[in-house]
A and B are shown apart, each in its own frame.
Chain A
Amino acid sequence: MDLSAINPVLLIASLMVAATPLLLAAIGELVVEKAGVLNLGVEGMMIVGAIAGFATAVESGSPFLGFIAAAIAGAALSILFAILTQFAQANQVASGLSLTLFGLGLSALMGQSYVGVKPPRMGDIHIPVLSDLPVIGPILFGHDIILYFGIALTAAVWWVLKYSRLGLVLRAVGENHDAAHALGYKVLKIRLMAIMFGGACAGLGGAYISLIRVPQWTEGMTAGIGWIALALVVFASWKPWRALLGAYLFGGVTVVQLNLQAAGVAIPVEYLAMSPYLITILVLVILSADKSSAPAALGRNFHASR
């Protein structure tokens, strides 16, 4: 065992990278669910965002354009879900599941000519002085811009939901759509916006995997991160900062267990391999002990005539 081989600074820096796709997808889904819609298609939107962002970045040479394309692609796919559930009144669970299957197939089709292609690199930002600080520099000031965007987005979503009128209306729609409708709010329009926001966030999360975390395109490369994001929303009891905490915890334990293995720690590897799931569930279950529970209208379809 050689724990000194683990560099805690690099470890924290890489756990933040591992957590970011999860965080982006979870924050998007959190807003969707706050509006009373359950979209299980996160994985599908992520993988479509991953290939759309990758292809755009490769063709244009700009990772930044890639991320924009990924957000648009994720949102576009989510519109399909919105049409099915909000206008055609289809079952939300079934529609979300089929969205994932559709997304996985569509992305494989779109990505056929991108296997083995190298994407342009998104440079880490470098702030003079701050980035060069020991310890704090690499952890806080040495990442790519999307990672900071993820944190800023969490803060923004938290503020909007808690303090703004928009957030109040969104929550009202999610808690009781009939009452919101009676007060004159456009329930379907607000839900449509929320679904598209969720799709855009999932798309960003997917592109973060294909452009920064891995970076390359391979079929099925999101490998279940979308599902973990869904679970994270529930365990975070629909609170943005807890989603951030959960994402970092999950990303952290994943990276730590790989580090411990490489350092030769004599804990059976199976325990290490399952530890991210166990610890995430454990901590989040403790967190969710307070009963600020799910939006009351979650998963229920709304029709004005009823």
Chain B
Amino acid sequence: MKLTNLLTSAAVALGLAAGAALAEDKTKVGFVYVGPVGDGGWTYEHDQGRKAVEAEFGDKVETVYVENVAEGPDAERVMTQMALEGADLIFTTSFGYMDPTINVAKKFPNVKFEHATGYKRAENVSTYSARFYEGRAVQGTIAGHMTESNIIGYIGSYPIPEVIRGINSAYIHAKKVNPDVQFKIVWAFTWFDPAKEADAAKVLIEQGADVILQHTDSTAPQAAAQNAGNVITFGQASDMAEYAPKPRVSSIIDDWAPYYIARTKAVMDGTWESVDTWDGIGAGMVGIGEISDAVPADVKEAALAIKDSIADGSYHPFTGPLKKQDGSDWLAEGETADDGTLAGMNFYVEGLEGDIPQ
């Protein structure tokens, strides 16, 4: 009797110890978000990626996230806190977290960091981004065909290369199918402020735009377009299918899940190293949401043709001849832009009006 008791308690103790050991083996993955996970756009998709990591590895990972983290000193505090609490891998998911990520990474050489959309790397800092401009080419094609007023409104967030690339790509492809098209660009200077985004969309509509493209994170422009009636929009970052078939006629979807799973796996296996990833439609990191019935069949066909040719690598959205806004030559006939130029793009292509805020 005594012996069995002893054996049972020993077994329990062993089990507990094993459990504790297992718990210690858990890979802890942190995520720093710029908006709320319920924004329906950018942050929402990153959080879907986080959930995919949990679904993939189950008990072997633990994920933590902090939402609504302002870009700046506050971000550094949040990242430091995560590292101190034992995170093995931290994804920082906004351009403005670039310097904070590098600073915190210096202090925690054993923690791996992954910064989305930035260009600064270190031994333990990888960067990753998606080629959104490929999706913009598809949007621009649809927009150029669909506009009747020939005025396309564009809500920009911050004047950083990623956003400027998108504007250029959309403009080039809208212009290709509709030489009379004109872009009106409004900078919101925020990633996420539904009231301001709605105001911006309304202003563009009042000034004649019947297509609204956005590079901000909420669905407020879709709601404004819906109220206005005859205006079309595109889902940004998420599908935003709740506004289909109109005003949302298609979308650019960020699919981070495969990347997040692969990188978490690399940390578990000990094979993680600092890399720079920039994938597009072909690799599946950028998805094109279903083109709705509001788009005529021939336009849909043209858009899908562009999408397919980008996906199989036979077409590059920035193919010459292209000039810069000031009229100087950029790409010769048939020449394609290199990644370095694209990554640091700080100029408009010829035909776009207005200045980029410096």
List chain A positions with a Cβ less than 8 A from chain B: 5-7, 10-11, 14, 18, 21, 108, 111-112, 115-118, 121, 209, 213-216, 218-223, 225, 254-255, 258-259, 261-264, 266, 268-270, 273
Min CB distance A268 to B, Å, is: 6
| B143 located at the interface, meaning its Cβ lies under 8 Å from any Cβ of chain A in the complex | no
| B199 located at the interface, meaning its Cβ lies under 8 Å from any Cβ of chain A in the complex | yes
Are B204's CB and A262's CB within 8 A? yes
Are A216's CB and B194's CB within 8 A? yes
Are B227's CB and A121's CB within 8 A? yes
Q: Which residue of B lies closest to A111 (CB)?
A: B38
In the bound complex, residues from chain A placing their C-beta under 8 Å from that of B218 are 218, 221
A5 and B36 in contact (CB under 8 A), knowing A221-B195, A261-B185, A269-B357? no
Cα separation A112 to B40 with both chains bound (whole Å)? 11
Q: Which of B194, B206, B240 contacts A10 (CB 8 A)?
A: B206
| B186 located at the interface, meaning its Cβ lies under 8 Å from any Cβ of chain A in the complex | yes
Cα separation A270 to B227 with both chains bound (whole Å)? 29
Are B203's CB and A218's CB within 8 A? no
| B316 located at the interface, meaning its Cβ lies under 8 Å from any Cβ of chain A in the complex | no
Are A220's CB and B187's CB within 8 A? no
In the bound complex, residues from chain A placing their C-beta under 8 Å from that of B36 are 108, 218-220
Cα separation A263 to B151 with both chains bound (whole Å)? 12
Cα separation A7 to B186 with both chains bound (whole Å)? 17
Q: Which residue of B lies closest to A119 (CB)?
A: B223
Contact pattern, B 185-213, Cβ under 8 Å of A = 1, otherwise 0: 11101101111101110111011100000
A sample of 9 cross-chain residue pairs with beta-carbon separation below 8 angstroms, ordered by A number, consists of A18-B195, A108-B36, A115-B40, A116-B240, A218-B38, A219-B37, A263-B184, A264-B354, A268-B357
Are A263's CB and B35's CB within 8 A? no
In the bound complex, residues from chain A placing their C-beta under 8 Å from that of B37 are 219
A14 and B39 in contact (CB under 8 A), knowing A116-B242, A214-B194? no
In the bound complex, residues from chain B placing their C-beta under 8 Å from that of A268 are 355, 357-358
In the bound complex, residues from chain B placing their C-beta under 8 Å from that of A18 are 195, 199
How many B residues touch the partner, as a band? 35 or more
In the bound complex, residues from chain B placing their C-beta under 8 Å from that of A115 are 38, 40
Are B226's CB and A108's CB within 8 A? no
Cα separation A263 to B184 with both chains bound (whole Å)? 7
List chain B positions with a Cβ less than 8 A from chain A: 35-40, 68, 153, 159, 184-187, 189-190, 192-196, 198-200, 202-204, 206-208, 218-220, 223-224, 226-227, 240, 242, 353-355, 357-358
Taking each of B38, B196, B224, B357, which has the highest tally of chain A beta carbons within 10 Å of its own beta carbon? B38
Are B184's CB and A262's CB within 8 A? yes
Are B207's CB and A263's CB within 8 A? yes
Cα separation A225 to B40 with both chains bound (whole Å)? 21
Are A223's CB and B223's CB within 8 A? no
Taking each of B207, B208, B220, which has the highest tally of chain A beta carbons within 10 Å of its own beta carbon? B207
In the bound complex, residues from chain B placing their C-beta under 8 Å from that of A259 are 203, 206-207
Cα separation A118 to B246 with both chains bound (whole Å)? 13
Min CB distance A56 to B, Å, is: 18
Are B187's CB and A214's CB within 8 A? no
Cα separation A121 to B223 with both chains bound (whole Å)? 11
Cα separation A128 to B40 with both chains bound (whole Å)? 40
Min CB distance B332 to A, Å, is: 30
Cα separation A258 to B219 with both chains bound (whole Å)? 18
Cα separation A273 to B189 with both chains bound (whole Å)? 7
Q: Which of B195, B196, B208 contacts A5 (CB 8 A)?
A: B208
Cα separation A111 to B40 with both chains bound (whole Å)? 12
Cα separation A252 to B338 with both chains bound (whole Å)? 44
Min CB distance B78 to A, Å, is: 16
- Report the tally of A-B residue pairs with Cβ distances under 8 A: 113
Min CB distance A219 to B, Å, is: 4
Min CB distance A211 to B, Å, is: 11
Are A266's CB and B355's CB within 8 A? yes
In the bound complex, residues from chain A placing their C-beta under 8 Å from that of B208 are 5
Are B199's CB and A117's CB within 8 A? no
Q: Which of B187, B194, B199, B207 contacts A6 (CB 8 A)?
A: B207
In the bound complex, residues from chain A placing their C-beta under 8 Å from that of B190 are 223
Q: Which of B195, B207, B355, B358 contacts A262 (CB 8 A)?
A: B207
A258 and B186 in contact (CB under 8 A), knowing A14-B202, A121-B227? yes
Q: Which of B38, B206, B220 contacts A7 (CB 8 A)?
A: B206
Known: A116-B240, A213-B199, A218-B39. 8 other contacts (CB 8 A): A14-B202, A14-B203, A213-B198, A214-B223, A218-B194, A254-B196, A262-B184, A270-B357
Q: Which residue of A lies closest to B218 (CB)?
A: A218
Are A219's CB and B196's CB within 8 A? no
Cα separation A104 to B358 with both chains bound (whole Å)? 34
In the bound complex, residues from chain B placing their C-beta under 8 Å from that of A261 are 185-187
Are A225's CB and B242's CB within 8 A? no
Are B357's CB and A214's CB within 8 A? no
Are B40's CB and A262's CB within 8 A? no
In the bound complex, residues from chain B placing their C-beta under 8 Å from that of A273 are 187, 189
Cα separation A87 to B190 with both chains bound (whole Å)? 41
A221 and B199 in contact (CB under 8 A), knowing A7-B206, A214-B223, A269-B357? no
Are B206's CB and A14's CB within 8 A? yes
Min CB distance B242 to A, Å, is: 4
Cα separation A279 to B223 with both chains bound (whole Å)? 29
Min CB distance A228 to B, Å, is: 11
Cα separation A268 to B354 with both chains bound (whole Å)? 10
Q: Which residue of A lies closest to B43 (CB)?
A: A219
Q: Which residue of A lies closest to B219 (CB)?
A: A216
Q: Which 4 A-B pairs have the closest CB atoms?
A: A219-B36, A116-B242, A269-B357, A219-B38
In the bound complex, residues from chain A placing their C-beta under 8 Å from that of B39 are 218-220
Are A216's CB and B192's CB within 8 A? no
In the bound complex, residues from chain B placing their C-beta under 8 Å from that of A269 are 159, 187, 189, 357
In the bound complex, residues from chain B placing their C-beta under 8 Å from that of A108 are 36, 38
In the bound complex, residues from chain B placing their C-beta under 8 Å from that of A215 are 223, 227
Min CB distance A162 to B, Å, is: 32
Are A220's CB and B184's CB within 8 A? no
